[in-house]
């Protein structure tokens, strides 16, 4: 493991690929790997790209990576794909999606399975971002499946969120009201050479203007107004917040890509100058810790359930009214709760 980490930190892409494979497959030792990489993270800009299927996310990400390379920056791309019902692996994973960057070792592309996680994100994705960050990638782009309002999960991983909207699709614009409007730092109307692009831009502007005094004032991701900390406390943001931008692109021709990258850079500067980046990180780590605790407790309880003969016996007793779900839960969790409380008392005494 030490050799693998040393090779990754030394910039060897083969080691990076091996580490991400261990992370994605949740192989033995992957947690120790991520733990040891953590101290080397915190330098990359993480950009989330989301939007409805067919909006041109993959094409735009391809052009973004190529333009970043022209600027002398290194790039890591994680494309979250739907999970195969048979293998659990990514079913759209295809290196050709990054056709402009084939052969460029400074653009590392990886398709990862959504594994049924809301918004197409999973703990494995968060860990893979850490591996790319520790490796030294300047920009890390996460391209999501495009699963509607559940894409708000991307906020937990990305510093900046870009939402793609295809032109002339009123349903897609209306969908933004269901939760995605609040998370977008940058809205991109891609395929702007098609009919309806101007109308889509206008609808987006109206929605953002209307929301400015309501939704966005309470959306901590934009850093506007009061936001809730990981402890549930209300914190007054020091800055006036970020006003989301709207940019038109024709990704297949590379039109508008430079403007997108410039706006992303402006937002990164805002995050640093306003203190929002640190606030985001605090919220992100708190949520990550909660997620890992939930996963570990779930695994522990599943192991205990199997040891006691499995779920069927408990279900049968509940059906026959010999017990109830609350009593079963207390019986399973009780010993763990007692152990935690005993250790708490030992430490306090």
* Separation CA 51–CA 53 (nearest Å): 7
Out of 101-105, 172-176, 311-315, pick the least confident. 172-176
The 10 Å Cβ neighbour count of residue 67 is 17
Average pLDDT, the chain: 82
* pLDDT of 171: 58
Q: What is the pLDDT of residues 130-162, one digit of tens each?
A: 999 999 999 999 998 775 555 667 767 899 999
Q: What is the pLDDT of residues 207-218, one digit of tens each?
A: 888 766 554 444
Judge whether 55 and 88 are in contact, CB under 8 Å. Answer: no
The string of pLDDT tens digits covering residues 168-177 is 755 556 656 5
pLDDT of residue 200: 87
pLDDT greater than 50 at residue 13 = yes
pLDDT reading at 303 higher than 80:
yes
At 321-333, the pLDDT tens digits run 999 999 999 999 9
Rounded CA gap, 103 and 141, in Å?
A: 18
Closest C-alpha among 38, 43, 47, 51 to residue 68: 47
pLDDT value for 332: 93
pLDDT digits (tens, 9 = 90+) for 225-275: 444 444 444 434 444 689 999 999 999 999 999 999 999 999 999 999 999
Residue 322 CB neighbour total at 10 angstroms: 10
Q: How confident is the model at residue 28 (pLDDT cuts 50, 70, 90)?
A: confident
Angle at 34 between CA 30 and CA 36, to 5 degrees: 115
Domains, the chain, with CATH or none? 40-275 (3.40.50.300), 290-348 (no CATH)
The pLDDT of residue 214: 53
Under a CB-based contact definition with an 8 Å cutoff, are residues 73 and 265 in contact? no
Q: Give the pLDDT score at 280.
A: 92
Instruction: Tell me the pairing of strands 75-81 and 45-51.
Output: unpaired
Going by DSSP bridges, is the β-strand pair 245-248/186-189 parallel, antiparallel, or unpaired? parallel
As a whole number of angstroms, the distance between CA 20 and CA 166 comes to 32
Give percent above pLDDT 70 in the chain: 77
Calpha distance 101→219 (Å, rounded): 36
């Amino acid at each position: 493991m030490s050799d693998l980490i040393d090779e990754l930190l030394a910039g060897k892409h083969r080691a990076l690929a091996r580490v991400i494979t261990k992370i994605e497959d949740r192989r033995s030792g992957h947690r120790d790997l991520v733990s040891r990489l953590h101290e080397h993270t915190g330098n990359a800009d993480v950009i989330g790209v989301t939007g409805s299927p067919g909006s041109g996310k993959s094409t735009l990400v391809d052009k973004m990576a190529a333009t970043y390379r022209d600027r002398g920056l290194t790039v890591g791309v994680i494309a979250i794909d739907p999970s195969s019902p048979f293998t659990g692996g990514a079913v759209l994973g295809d290196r050709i999606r990054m056709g402009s960057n084939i052969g460029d070792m400074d653009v590392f592309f990886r398709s990862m399975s959504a594994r049924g996680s809301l918004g197409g994100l999973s703990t494995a994705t968060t860990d893979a971002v850490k591996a790319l960050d520790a490796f030294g990638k300047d920009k890390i782009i996460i391209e999501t499946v495009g699963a509607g309002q559940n894409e708000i999960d991307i906020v937990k991983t990305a510093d900046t969120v870009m939402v793609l909207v295809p032109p002339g699709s009123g349903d897609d614009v209306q969908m933004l009201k269901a939760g995605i409007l609040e998370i977008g730092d940058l809205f991109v109307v891609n395929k702007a050479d098609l009919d309806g692009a101007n109308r889509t831009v206008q609808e987006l502007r109206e929605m953002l203007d209307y929301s400015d005094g309501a939704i966005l004032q309470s959306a901590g991701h934009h850093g506007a107004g009061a936001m809730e900390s990981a402890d549930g406390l209300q914190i007054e943001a020091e800055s006036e917040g970020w006003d989301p931008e709207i940019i038109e692109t024709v990704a297949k021709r590379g039109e508008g890509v430079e403007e997108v990258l410039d706006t992303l850079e402006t937002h990164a500067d805002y995050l640093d100058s306003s203190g929002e980046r640190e606030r985001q990180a605090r919220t992100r780590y708190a949520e990550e810790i909660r997620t890992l605790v939930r996963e570990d407790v779930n695994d522990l309880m599943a192991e205990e359930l199997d040891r006691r003969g499995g779920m069927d016996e408990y279900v049968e007793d509940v059906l026959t009214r010999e017990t109830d779900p609350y009593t079963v839960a207390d019986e399973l969790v009780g010993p763990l709760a007692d152990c935690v409380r005993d250790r708490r008392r030992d430490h306090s005494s």
